[in-house]
Amino acid sequence: MTDWLIRNAELVNEGRRFHADLRIRGQRIDEIGNGLNARAGEQVFDAAGLWLLPGMIDDHVHFREPGYTAKGDIASESRAAVIGGITSFIDMPNTRPATLTQDLLEDKYAIAARSSLANYAFYFGASNDNLDAIRALDPRKVPGVKVFLCESTGNLCVSEPAALEGVFRDSPVAVLVHAEDSRIIHANLDRAKAAYGDDIPMRLHPEIRSREACFQSTKWAVETARRHGTRLHVLHVSTEDELAMFESGPIAKKRITAETCVHFLLYGDADYARLGGKIKCNPAIKAASDRDALIRALADTRIDVLATDHAPHLESEKANPYTSCPSGIPLIQFALQSALECVFRGDFTLERLVEAYAHAPTTLFAVEGRGFLREGYFADLTLVDPAKPQIVRREQIVSKCGWSPFEGDTFRASVAATFVNGSLVARNGKVLDAPPGTRLAFNR
């Protein structure tokens, strides 16, 4: 494989921005310094004017394989990821079959070993009756257990109180929750159906999957985690109301952490008029005031991790009336660029974005050898051109579903190049011939 010398980049890492050169030898970062000279056989990448970031680790994606591969698969969505500067992903268990046994988990790893351009890991799913399998998980091999506290795509809801308590009490790995209260949602939905039939206006989605449903469920999860000392990670926080339950500070010191997703930083309820079912997702995108509060909480570390919740559906499905329009948005290809818009707007710094999208997930799961620009670490790298705008057009979309909520939007920055394990895997929106990514290891 080619060794690289990346010259004249502006590195962003561990709270600092500085100009330096970075040498890649084999799969790893060999040297970071100024005035490095190319050695024989090394290829030089002139990165003058570019930002060099640790490759983003997206800890919340739905790549749909196995079982829903018309919407997306690990090959297609990992290509979209690396084009967008995301070098590792952790995928959710609500596939078909759902990832509820060790064998099914290893089946997914085997698919990824053949087909994923990015590095990968897979969560284990909780059900009403697989606590013994959860107890037996190896923390070095499995990042966490995903618990759906309500119905969403794939219907993995854990409804038995004893089963839920058991997961919080006994899981040897982090417990990740989708926190919304089913009873509240069903009551709201019944009221809306009585008024509108199946054709409920999309703008009512945040009133059906309401802030109260989020608040009550997150409150239950946080209280239960405190009682058992669980390592809890609350996924896709979407309301201002929930933020009081989280504390700011370094992620390494926390037992309870929070994630939000790019769409909650970009959209508010006014956007349903323009984008309709395209931005229908669970939990729902809520008010502009929630968006502003989530931005502040990401900036001040009450929210630790930024992810996508990339969840592709077919465009035809998304055009359905409310009750048959599936929830979820394809985001991963443009997630970094869309989050950079928040940086350009002054919502938070570039250093903070890198922390939330690369360092924090690395620390949360003790990902081995990635997530930072450090000598000896894997060369998972993203080069961003902050002065090259991109208008999103349909023909650029690599996600299998073939559409994006961002079509027609202009991003101020572009992803110039992505390296995974020292190989240049994508450049200027095109995937290159490169070896598959590798399985993430967890150093704990």
Report how far apart, in Å, the C-alpha atoms of 151 and of each of 148, 166, 184, 208 are. 7, 19, 12, 13
CB 387 within 8 A of CB 49: yes
d(C-alpha 12, C-alpha 356), whole Å? 13
- Is the CB of 21 or the CB of 309 nearer to Zn ion? 309
**What minimum distance in Å lies between the beta carbon of 47 and Zn ion?**
34
The pairing of strands 410-411 and 390-391 is antiparallel
**What minimum distance in Å lies between the beta carbon of 395 and Zn ion?**
28
d(C-alpha 384, C-alpha 336), whole Å? 9
Strand, coil or helix: what is 25? strand
Report how far apart, in Å, the C-alpha atoms of 72 and of each of 2, 132, 346 are. 31, 31, 34
CB 106 within 8 A of CB 121: no
Judged by CB under 5 A, does residue 58 bind Zn ion? no
| CA 244 to mean position of chain CA atoms | 23
- Which amino acid would we find at residue 20? A
**What minimum distance in Å lies between the beta carbon of 310 and Zn ion?**
8
DSSP conformation class of 224: H
**What minimum distance in Å lies between the beta carbon of 399 and Zn ion?**
15
91 is catalytic: no
For the segment 289-318, give every residue that binds Zn ion (CB under 5 A). 309
DSSP conformation class of 67: T
Sign of CA dihedral 100, 102, 104, 105: positive
- Is the CB of 399 or the CB of 423 nearer to Zn ion? 399
d(C-alpha 293, C-alpha 168), whole Å? 28
Count of positions on this chain that bind Zn ion (CB under 5 A): 1
Report how far apart, in Å, the C-alpha atoms of 166 and of each of 72, 137, 140, 158, 171 are. 33, 14, 21, 11, 8
- Is the CB of 146 or the CB of 400 nearer to Zn ion? 146
Q: Which of 309, 347, 380, 385 is catalytic?
A: 309
- Is the CB of 263 or the CB of 400 nearer to Zn ion? 263
Report how far apart, in Å, the C-alpha atoms of 89 and of each of 74, 92, 183, 234, 354 are. 10, 10, 32, 17, 15
- Is the CB of 51 or the CB of 89 nearer to Zn ion? 89
- Is the CB of 6 or the CB of 266 nearer to Zn ion? 266
d(C-alpha 3, C-alpha 42), whole Å? 5
| Residue nearest Zn ion, CB atom distance | 309
Phi and psi, residue 77, nearest 5°: -75, -30
- Is the CB of 30 or the CB of 73 nearer to Zn ion? 73
Report how far apart, in Å, the C-alpha atoms of 339 and of each of 40, 280, 404 are. 38, 19, 15
**What minimum distance in Å lies between the beta carbon of 363 and Zn ion?**
21
d(C-alpha 419, C-alpha 441), whole Å? 19
**What minimum distance in Å lies between the beta carbon of 9 and Zn ion?**
33
CB 134 within 8 A of CB 124: yes
Site string for Zn ion, 341-370 (x = CB under 5 A): ------------------------------
- Is the CB of 116 or the CB of 153 nearer to Zn ion? 153
Catalytic residue positions, numbered? 309
Query: Which residues of the shown chain bind Zn ion in the complex (CB under 5 A)?
Result: 309
